[in-house]
């Protein structure tokens, strides 16, 4: 079955460490996204990529980095520069880029999430 | 004003009740609208897209009011399994990169 796999599901990090969250999809989707969710809040966009080897900053990119070397993969690194990294991180993908207004192209499929806790 | 704002919740209703959620959006040029459902500590999943003419899927009805810039979700005959957080999602306009903007969510708890 096609889907998005995120790993690890739970991660504990000491302050000052960088960590990388994995996101792999086999849906053949062009666009991939990283969101952060804090308790009682909606999802906030960290980075997104509409095509391989290209990505753009979202609303809260500071302290994060990404790469998109393969269509299937969009890893997120949470660097030590991120001041409040403890959160639920969600990776998502969609068929097409965000520019089209077609409903189907904008439907997001999410991975199960990675819960990061900084000790 | 937030770009997408939802009823604050939580909504606590008995089984069988009808419940409605509202979501307002600030940009009148927004084109696409969605409702997602998120269970506790899980990922969001698409519940339904919202079409201009309104649409229904079983017990769920979504409406769009462009003049007042809000969308609504009506759930009839609530089930215990409907308990979740419902997220309103609006597609931004072109100069926002067409990004999807999430509301903060409205929590629903259906009681026996």
Residues of chain A with pLDDT under 70: 1, 97-105
Confidence of residue B93 (pLDDT cuts 50, 70, 90): low
CB contact under 8 A, A111 and B43: yes
CB contact under 8 A, B44 and A106: no
CB contact under 8 A, A98 and B42: no
pLDDT at position B96: 53
Chain A residue with Cα closest to B5: A42
pLDDT at position A98: 53
Nearest CA among B29, B24, B10, B28 for reference residue B84 = B10
pLDDT tens-digit series, residues A49-81:
988 999 999 989 999 999 999 999 999 999 988
pLDDT at position A46: 95
Q: How far apart are CA A60 and CA A44, in angstroms?
A: 7
- Preferred mutation among B4, B6, B41, B44 to probe A, highest tally of A CBs within 10 A: B44
pLDDT at position B30: 83
CB contact under 8 A, A113 and B105: no
pLDDT at position B63: 96
**Among A108-112, B45-49, B61-65, B93-97, which is the least confidently predicted range?**
B93-97
Chain B residue with Cα closest to A47: B99
Strands A54-57 and A4-7: unpaired
What is the nearest CA distance from B15 to chain A, expressed in angstroms? Answer: 24
Tell me how many helices (H) and strands (E) chain B has.
0, 11
Size of interface A-B (CB pairs under 8 A): 65
């Amino acid at each position: 079955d096609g889907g998005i796999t995120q790993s690890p599901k739970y991660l504990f990090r000491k302050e000052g460490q960088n960590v990388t969250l994995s996101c792999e999809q086999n849906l053949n989707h062009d666009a991939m996204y990283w969101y952060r969710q804090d308790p009682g809040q909606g999802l906030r966009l960290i980075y997104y990529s509409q095509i391989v080897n290209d990505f753009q900053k979202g609303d809260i990119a500071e302290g994060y980095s990404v790469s998109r070397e393969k269509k299937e993969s969009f890893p997120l690194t949470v660097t030590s520069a991120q001041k409040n990294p403890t959160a639920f991180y969600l990776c998502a993908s969609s068929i097409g880029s965000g520019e089209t207004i077609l409903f189907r192209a904008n439907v997001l499929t999410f991975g199960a999430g990675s819960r990061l806790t900084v000790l | 004003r937030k770009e997408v704002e939802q009823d604050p919740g939580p909504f606590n209703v008995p089984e069988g009740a009808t419940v409605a959620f509202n979501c307002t959006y600030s940009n009148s040029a927004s084109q696409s609208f969605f409702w997602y459902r998120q269970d506790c500590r899980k990922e969001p999943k698409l519940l339904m897209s919202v079409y201009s003419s309104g649409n229904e899927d079983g017990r769920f009805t979504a409406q769009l009011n462009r003049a007042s810039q809000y969308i609504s979700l009506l759930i009839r005959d609530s089930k215990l399994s409907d308990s979740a957080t419902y997220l309103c999602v609006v597609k931004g306009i072109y100069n926002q990169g067409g990004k999807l903007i999430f509301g903060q969510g409205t929590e629903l708890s259906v009681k026996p």
